[in-house]
A and B are shown apart, each in its own frame.
Chain A
Amino acid sequence: MTYAEIDTETEVEQRNTLKWPTEDCSRIPNWVYSDSDNYKLELEKIFYGPFWSFVGLDCEVPNPGDYKRAVVGERSVLVVRDKDGGINVLLNSCAHRSAEVCMDNFGSNRVLMCPYHQWTYDLKGKLIGVPFRKGAKGIGGYPESFDMKEHPLQALRVENVNGAIFASFQHDALPMKDYLGEAVYSKMTRVFDGRKLKLLGYQRQRIRGNWKLYPENLKDSYHATLLHVFLISFGLYRMDQKGNLFNDERTRAHNVVESIATARDQLTANTEMKSFKSNYELNDMRPVTPIKEFSDDITIQNLTMFPCLTIQQQQNLLQCRNVIPMGPDEFELSWTFFGYEDDDEEMTLRRTRLANLTGSAGYISVDDTEIFELSSRGMLVNPDRDCVVELGGYSSDTPQAGEMVSESAIRGFYELYRKVMYNHDTP
């Protein structure tokens, strides 16, 4: 670590600790969404710290030699299937002159070769070839002491949760089950249940706002009843739907919001639908006509994993929504839509139809992405003001059963965030 880094860190730490308005997390200062020094600290402490980032599904790289590019923090990484069938996540930066080794977003090869000076790595990142090692025409070359073993592509720690691939720059990151806690992990494995996955496609959006706005939005579930007029206007959502909301015991920064439909709530084009007091009726019901798929009655499950992955099941629509920071006031929202390998054509079509609700043109999701830019504009120019996050109290305790109107999950996020960012002890 350089002196400059220490200085910046200490300075940011002191300034931010002083400026955080309350001991609890019922207030969030606006500068936390825009300050560039704070953002640099987030990259180091969170994105390159002992936390997990989503990098893709294992069905995206089915065969040995298959690779895809992904991003952890701001760093490009390669998700590579090796000859043994294992998945490696390697820093996409050559050990020689740091150039990105792979330019294609997807590819397949026996080795990974940097195009600049052809340093060549095997599929686990080991350096296996260096041109002119003995020089040219018997003259020059690398010194005797040059050791190929010292120059691999940096390998990240990897965990594969039934087909969902996670990576961390820190090899002491907790195993995913301990990281999320039993309760949240069991909801992740409700979706990633061991069946082979089938990729349905991607969507990517560039949002002008701070990356934290995204996980916060999913942690605050009650905005749905206020902001997302589509479902209510078309009579597709009942306000009295039962729900459940909980935070993980250890950190409070991973959360699950689930909505449990009764038989009457099933979204079908039946006559009962017309009895709902709604303004409009859909001409084509196919985008909102799911079938029961899971053994329980949970119709919507939003799982947010610290720092910024959301896994959503909305009826038969399954997606990972990954947030990739691009500076303090911009982020990429990267969607990976999937089903299961044993889906028939009808199920794939059903999932594709339901996708009209989400993504960059989603009947529901457009509202959110537009709001982030609105929030961001208000925050950027008012860094000395605070956000009020007091609904449901001051703590990050899981609300009592059935209490869906709460901001406790956002407070939970910031309890861990402040510990990681401004305290020296690792959580």
Chain B
Amino acid sequence: MTEPLQRAQELYARHAQAICDDELEKWPELFTENCQYKIISRVNYDRNLPLSVIFAESQGALKDRVIAIRNTMVYAPRYMSHLVTGVRIIETLADSLKSRSQFAIYHTLSDGNAQLHLIGRTFDQIDTSAADWKFSQRTVVFDNELVPGSVVYPA
């Protein structure tokens, strides 16, 4: 039996890799059907302002995001690189656990230079009731309020 922390870390790693490997179609599968997902600046988060960069209230909304990224949004091609660390379980509940992590995301455009894209913390909840652990909640709080360019891919 694997330790809960290891299983949580595995989920975080799979999340990062779905995006970095450009296998976005796998990304919504890491979330429960009724998940809540958001990317929000630290200034809004700290002041209890609801406005988010991405705000999704279901796995379906995450799938919509992937369809748009693949088919409708116009953007310069880029590689994403997620460095995730400090995964920690904060609280263990009956069917879920609360966890958090630290991250830095870099993007590399066609000029070849990697640039800091988003940096910050995530505050999450993992559904542990089924064999496959999934995020039921993921809140990405980024510090660098002045985002370079646009946020195309999930964080």
Q: Which residues of A contact B (CB under 8 A)?
A: 105-106, 199-208, 227, 229-230, 233-234, 279-280, 282-284, 286-287, 332, 337, 348-349, 352-353, 355-356, 359-361, 363, 365-367, 369-371, 373-374
State whether B146 touches A370 (Cβ < 8 A).
Answer: no
State whether B74 touches A355 (Cβ < 8 A).
Answer: no
Distance of A205 Cα from B64 Cα, bound (Å): 23
**What residues of A have a CB within 8 angstroms of the CB of B148 in the complex?**
205-206
**Which of A106, A229, A353 is the one whose CB lies under 8 Å from B72?**
A229
**Which of A284, A349, A356, A370 is the one whose CB lies under 8 Å from B74?**
A370
Q: Of residues B47, B50, B145, B150, which shows the largest number of chain A Cβ atoms within 10 Å of its Cβ? A: B150
State whether B57 touches A204 (Cβ < 8 A).
Answer: no
Shortest CB distance A29–B (Å): 25
Given contacts A204-B145, A205-B147, A366-B74, contact A283 B64 (CB under 8 A): yes
Q: Is B84 an interface residue (CB 8 A)?
A: no
Q: Is B43 an interface residue (CB 8 A)?
A: yes
Which residue of chain A has its CB nearest to the CB of B49?
A: A201
Shortest CB distance A76–B (Å): 14
**Which of A105, A201, A207, A287 is the one whose CB lies under 8 Å from B149?**
A207
Shortest CB distance A197–B (Å): 13
Shortest CB distance A329–B (Å): 14
Q: Which residues of B contact A (CB under 8 A)?
A: 39-41, 43-44, 47, 49-61, 63-64, 67-68, 71-76, 145-152
Given contacts A204-B147, A206-B146, contact A283 B61 (CB under 8 A): yes
Shortest CB distance B76–A (Å): 6
- How many A-B pairs with Cβ below 8 Å? 125
Shortest CB distance A19–B (Å): 30
Which residue of chain B has its CB nearest to the CB of A201?
A: B51
**What residues of B have a CB within 8 angstroms of the CB of A366 in the complex?**
73-75, 150-152
Shortest CB distance B74–A (Å): 4
Which residue of chain B has its CB nearest to the CB of A366?
A: B150
Which residue of chain A has its CB nearest to the CB of B51?
A: A201
State whether A370 touches B76 (Cβ < 8 A).
Answer: yes
**What residues of A have a CB within 8 angstroms of the CB of B61 in the complex?**
283-284, 286-287
Q: Of residues A233, A366, A369, which shows the largest number of chain B Cβ atoms within 10 Å of its Cβ? A: A366
**What residues of A have a CB within 8 angstroms of the CB of B71 in the complex?**
229, 233, 279-280
State whether A284 touches B150 (Cβ < 8 A).
Answer: no
**Which of A201, A202, A280, A374 is the one whose CB lies under 8 Å from B67?**
A280
Shortest CB distance B78–A (Å): 10
Given contacts A202-B44, A286-B61, contact A352 B149 (CB under 8 A): no
Shortest CB distance A340–B (Å): 15
State whether A200 touches B54 (Cβ < 8 A).
Answer: no
Shortest CB distance A27–B (Å): 26
Shortest CB distance B56–A (Å): 7
**What residues of B have a CB within 8 angstroms of the CB of A360 in the complex?**
53, 147, 149-151
**Which of B43, B56, B64, B150 is the one whose CB lies under 8 Å from A202?**
B43
Distance of A208 Cα from B146 Cα, bound (Å): 12
Which residue of chain B has its CB nearest to the CB of A361?
A: B151
Shortest CB distance B33–A (Å): 10
Leading 4 A-B pairs by shortest Cβ distance: A201-B51, A283-B60, A201-B49, A284-B61
Shortest CB distance A409–B (Å): 22
State whether A233 touches B72 (Cβ < 8 A).
Answer: yes
